[in-house]
Amino acid sequence: MKLLILGEDLVAWTLAAALASTGCRVHMTACDLPDAASEEVEPDLSRLLDQQLEMGRLQLDCGMDQLANNSLDLLIDARDFTSQEDLLAVVQEAGFPRLVALVQPVPLGTTDTLQEQLNGFSSQPPQVVFWPNFIQAGRALESFTRVEQLLLGSRDAWATRQIKRLMQPFNRSLDRFRVMTPREAELTKVAINGMLATRVSFMNELAQLAERQDIDIEAVRQGMGADSRIGFQYLYPGCGFGGEAFLQTLEQLNTELSASRTADQGLLTSVQAINNQQKDLLFQKLWRFYKADLAGKKVALWGCSFKPNTSSVSGSPALHLIAALLAHEVEVVAYDPRALPAVQKHFAGEVGLSVAASPEAAAVDADAILVVTEWKEFWNLDLVQIKETMKHPLLLDGRNIYHPEELAEQGWVYSGVGRGQVV
């Protein structure tokens, strides 16, 4: 199969590498592979891309010019949705391939509208399907090749067969495809994210209550998760979720929901508001602890990516916290195993932010440590030693990775989300 993948982010590169590895001839519009350290790739993905490029199955065309006369079997648009006109334009530019797949969340009805527009162009129009991706940053390649479910919004039996065949190598033991209309698939995709976000925000709201009532939210979380109707997934309270795609679909779903409402704000508005409050939480704790007198303080920020194992900082609480801290003249020393280049780029030219080579180095002379991302390397550090190098032993744990009793014994002022000391 000969296909063109549009887009230059993690989703596009994951699709390109995985599908090329199954023997497809994959064209990309980029000129070069992304830098191995960038947010667009992950280590295993980067290696696979190198391989596929070498084998010649992956081709970087540096634009779309060469493709116009080249008949494509499939166009995969993995770019973020901008407009209906833009979608039509790229299908035209790609020379009307026989099959078009949209893999990023789109406003409800986008797929059908594009199909209708294309129907007007010829008697043998391209077939459009909505094939939402479930690629997760941090385990991108794995999440595509070992996907739990495959969702396909298609109105055409031929188109359905094509996508199924394409995914056959990853879908052998059990057919995980669930085929529905494009509109159903569009809503399903954003609804899944909405539900996950709702669970997290609900836990965060509970954590606020737990804190006020001197209850350890961790015990509550375990008790809730043990109920099989609920399960353990997405039940961690914390200092806010990020991720561009996730936040975007949430925003989109909320917009769609608001459009069908007249006045009152809906559930998802609260979900987003709670998440925004959580992103600010560690700043608020610091503010309260130092009685609103933050200028000149020094803070170590552990973890900047929006979740572990990714170098992406999009929508990360770290960005929000750093901005808030800098605005109050707090000196911020950030450490992250992979996301520091992205952080430095984001805050280029701003005074007060520096980066450290290790969590220990970041903590030297600090008035507080803020744990923002639960990278595995933070879990078993020698905190007793680290505490000795700090100006004040204040640890604000946005991911609840430490034990309150242990840290209290070590002499820390330790406050998590819904556990530890109330700050």
Partner 1 sequence: MSQELLTRRSAFAGLQALAEQQKPLVDLFSADSQRAEKMTVSAASLTLDFSKQRVTGEVLQSLEKLALEVDLPGRVAALFSGEKVNLSENRAALHTALRAPSGKRPAGLGAVDEQLQRMAALVEKVQSGVWRGFSGKRITDVVNLGVGGSDLGPLMVTQALREYTRPEATPLKVHFASTIDGSQLFDLLTHLNPETTLFTISSKSFTTIDTLSNADTVRAWLGGFCPDSELLHRCHFVGVSASAEKMTAWGLPEANQLYFWDWVGGRFSLWATIGLPIALALGMPVFRELLAGAHELDEHFRSAAPLDNLPMLMALLGVWNVNCLDIRAHAILPYDGRLKYFPSYLEQLEMESNGKSVTREGVPLDYATCPVLWGEIGANAQHAFYQLLHQGTQAVASDFIIAASRYESMKDSTHYESLMTQHELNIANCLAQSRVLALGNAAVDPTDNPFRHYPGNQPSSTLVVDSLNARSLGALIALYEHKVYAQACLWGINPFDQWGVELGKQVAKQLQPLLSVGARSASDRCNRAQSELPQCAPTRELDSSTENLAQLIESYRVESSVGARSASDRYNRAQSALPQCVPTKSGGQP
Contacts with partner 1 by CB under 8 A lie at: 212, 214, 277, 280, 283-292, 324, 327-328, 392, 394, 408, 413, 421-423
Nearest to 198 by CA among 139, 271, 140, 147: 271
Nearer to partner 1, 31 or 327 (CB): 327
User: Could you give the CA distance from residue 220 to residue 217 in angstroms, rounded to a whole number?
Assistant: 5
Nearer to partner 1, 55 or 422 (CB): 422
Which parts of 110-149 are beta strand (E)?
A: 127-130
Identify the DSSP state of 37.
Answer: T
Shortest CB 304 distance to partner 1, Å = 20
Shortest CB 396 distance to partner 1, Å = 12
Shortest CB 305 distance to partner 1, Å = 23
Shortest CB 281 distance to partner 1, Å = 9
Shortest CB 409 distance to partner 1, Å = 12
Shortest CB 418 distance to partner 1, Å = 13
Nearer to partner 1, 151 or 286 (CB): 286
Tokens 């084998």 correspond to what residue? Answer: 55
Nearer to partner 1, 88 or 413 (CB): 413
User: Could you give the CA distance from residue 384 to residue 408 in angstroms, rounded to a whole number?
Assistant: 11
Please report the DSSP string for 80-115 in residue order. PP--HHHHHHHHHHTT--SEEEE-S---TTHHHHHH
Q: What angle do CA 209, 210, 213 make, to 5 degrees?
A: 85
Shortest CB 2 distance to partner 1, Å = 44
Nearer to partner 1, 48 or 366 (CB): 366
Residues pairing with 129 in the sheet: 101
Quick one: angle between helices 317-327 and 267-289, nearest 10? 40
Nearest to 290 by CA among 372, 384, 394: 394
Shortest CB 291 distance to partner 1, Å = 6
Nearer to partner 1, 139 or 392 (CB): 392
Shortest CB 392 distance to partner 1, Å = 6
Shortest CB 257 distance to partner 1, Å = 20
Nearer to partner 1, 59 or 421 (CB): 421
Nearer to partner 1, 130 or 283 (CB): 283
User: Could you give the CA distance from residue 256 to residue 65 in angstroms, rounded to a whole number?
Assistant: 36
Starting at the edge strand found earlier in the chain, the sheet holding 150-153 runs 58-60, 25-28, 2-6, 74-77, 99-102, 127-130, 150-153, 177-180
Give residue 329's identity as a one-letter amino acid code: E
Nearer to partner 1, 119 or 389 (CB): 389
Which parts of 131-259 are beta strand (E)?
A: 150-153, 177-180
Cβ-contact 392, 322 below 8 angstroms: no
Give residue 27's identity as a one-letter amino acid code: H
Nearest to 351 by CA among 329, 371, 368, 379: 329
Give residue 387's identity as a one-letter amino acid code: K
Nearer to partner 1, 12 or 423 (CB): 423
Nearest to 296 by CA among 330, 248, 344: 330
Tokens 């947010």 correspond to what residue? Answer: 39
